[in-house]
Structure 1
Amino acid sequence: MLTNIRNVYCVGRNYKLHAEELGNAVPDEPMIFMKPSHAVVPLNGEYLELPASKGEVHYEAELVIRIGQDYKPGVGVDELVDAYAFGIDFTLRDVQTVIKKKGHPWTAAKGFKNAAPITPFQTFPGAAALLEKDFTLTKNGVQVQRGNIVNMIFSLQDIVDYVGHHYGLGPGDIIFTGTPEGVGAAQPGDVLELAWAGESLGACTIKAAE
C-alpha cells in the first residue's frame, strides 16, 4: 500500500562508485534532498509517464525504507523501520546539471510527477538481513544496476540518525537510501524491472508524457 506516505527523503551520492561515475565528490555527511509525496506511485507493471521534452531521464534503483514510529535519539534502525521496498529515483539529468551550476534546489530535476515509483512494501527483516542479498534493475531484460547496501557510504543507521536529528522522522516517512553505479537514460518503450535476490518485485514501461 502507498497510502499515508508523508515525507519522502532521499540520500544523494551514497555509493562511492555512483558518485565517481557522475564526476561528483564523495560526501563526508549524508546529502539529503526531498521529493513531493505526489511523486510516489506504484511500480505495478503499468505504463509510467515521464517528461519527454526536458532532456535525458535517468533511472536510479534504490532500497526504500519506511519509518514506523517517531524518531528518538538512540533508537536502532531495526526498531524504527517497519517496512522496506525498492524504488526508482528518476532524475532529469540535463535539468539537474543546469540547476546545480546555478546553485538552485534539485526539485525540478527530482520532484516531477511519477519520479518515485516503488514496489509493494514488505515487513522489514532487519538491516543485517538486507546485507545478504543484492537488488537489481534490468532494462529490456538486460541488467543495468546491481547493488548491495553493504557498499553504501552511510549505513541505514547513519541515515536515520542524520535525518531524524536534522529534520525529524515519524510514521509514514520514507527514505530512498541511494543508488549504486550503472545509472543511465530511460527511453519511451523501455521496460524497467526491479528484483531482489533474483525475484521480480515490480516493473513499468516508460511512456512519454504529453
Structure 2
Amino acid sequence: MEKAISNIFCVGRNYVLHAQELSNAVPDSPLFFSKPTHAIVRTDGQTFTLPGDQGDVHYEAEWVIHIGRPYFPGAKADELIDGMALGIDFTLRDTQSVLKEKGYPWLAAKGFLNSALLTPFTDFPGLEACSKIDFTLNVNDKEVQRGNISQMIFSPQALLEFCAKHYGLDAGDVIFTGTPAGVGKIADGDHLTLKWGTEVAGEAIASLN
C-alpha cells in the first residue's frame, strides 16, 4: 500500500550484536538520526544507483514502521502504527568513519540519494504478531542478515516515546528501527531480496556509479 511519508527517522545500534560487530558501544538511550525524503527508493525489482566513488557502501536491513496518527501521551505502539515495511539503510562506511573521527554529523554518510531502500507498506498486525516472524536480507540469494523485533535493545514502544519527546512524532512519519548483525559491503550488480518470514517483501538490484 502507498503511504505518505513526512519525516524519516532512523535508529542506530539497536541490536547488541550489530553494535559489537562495528566495535561500537551499546547505547544507554536510543540513538536517532534522520534521512531526507529524497533518500527513498522503492523495491520493485528495478536497478537503482548508489555512489561508487566514496569508499565502501554497506547494507543495513531494517524493520520499518509508518505512523498513522499524531502521538499523544500514553499512546501505545499498536495504536500509532498503521503500516510496516522492510528497508535498507545504506551507509557510506568509510565516509562515516571520517565523520565520526571529526565529530561531524552523519548526513553525508547516511542521507545521500537512494540511501533508504523501502518495500511497499503492508498492514500492521500488532507487535505481538510481528515478534513471531523474522525478517531477512538475501544478497544474490544468500542470506546475510536475519533479525526479529524481539531482539531490539530499545523496543518499538520505547522508540516511539523517545522520538515523540525529543523530535516530535506525527502521522506520515516513518522509523527505520535498527539493523541486526551481518551488515556488509555492496558490490555492483548485487541482487537484494528482503523477506518477511518466507514472503518476499521487495527486491532490487544495486548499481555502483
Q: TM class, shorter-chain normalised? A: over 0.9
Q: CA deviation at 1:73?
A: 1.3
Q: CA deviation at 1:3?
A: 5.3
In structure 2, how many angstroms separate the alpha carbons of the residues matched to 1:3 and 1:20? 34
Instruction: Please name the residue that 1:190 is paired with.
Output: 190
* Counterpart mapping for 1:18-167 below 5 A: 18-167=18-167
* Counterpart mapping for 1:166-185 below 5 A: 166-185=166-185
Q: Which moved more, 1:199-208 or 1:75-84?
A: 199-208
- After the TM superposition, list the runs of 4 or more consecutive aligned residues in structure 1 that deviate by more than 2 angstroms: 1-4
Instruction: Please name the residue that 1:203 is paired with.
Output: 203
TM-score by length of 2: 0.98
Instruction: Please name the residue that 1:5 is paired with.
Output: 5
Decide whether the 8 Å contact of 2:136 with 2:195 is kept in 1: yes
Q: CA deviation at 1:4?
A: 2.5
- The C-alpha deviation readout for 1:116-157, integer Å capped at 9, x for no partner, is 011100111111111001000001010000000110000000
SS of match in other structure, 2:41: strand
Which ranges of structure 1 fall in alignment gaps of 5 or more residues? none
In structure 1, how many angstroms separate the alpha carbons of the residues matched to 2:104 and 2:143? 33
In structure 1, how many angstroms separate the alpha carbons of the residues matched to 2:198 and 2:87? 16
Q: CA deviation at 1:2?
A: 5.0
In structure 1, how many angstroms separate the alpha carbons of the residues matched to 2:18 and 2:208? 26
Which ranges of structure 2 fall in alignment gaps of 5 or more residues? none
Decide whether the 8 Å contact of 1:73 with 1:165 is kept in 2: no
Aligned residues: 209
Percentage identity across aligned positions? Answer: 55
- The C-alpha deviation readout for 1:73-100, integer Å capped at 9, x for no partner, is 1000000110000000000000000000
- The C-alpha deviation readout for 1:174-197, integer Å capped at 9, x for no partner, is 000000000000011110110011
- The C-alpha deviation readout for 1:4-54, integer Å capped at 9, x for no partner, is 211000000000000000000000000000000110121111001000000
SS of match in other structure, 2:109: helix
SS of match in other structure, 1:181: coil
In structure 1, how many angstroms separate the alpha carbons of the residues matched to 2:204 and 2:68? 27
TM-score by length of 1: 0.98
Decide whether the 8 Å contact of 2:3 with 2:121 is kept in 1: no
- The C-alpha deviation readout for 1:44-71, integer Å capped at 9, x for no partner, is 1100100000000000000000000111
In structure 1, how many angstroms separate the alpha carbons of the residues matched to 2:31 and 2:156? 13
- Considering only aligned residues, what root-mean-square deviation do their CA atoms show, in Å? 0.8
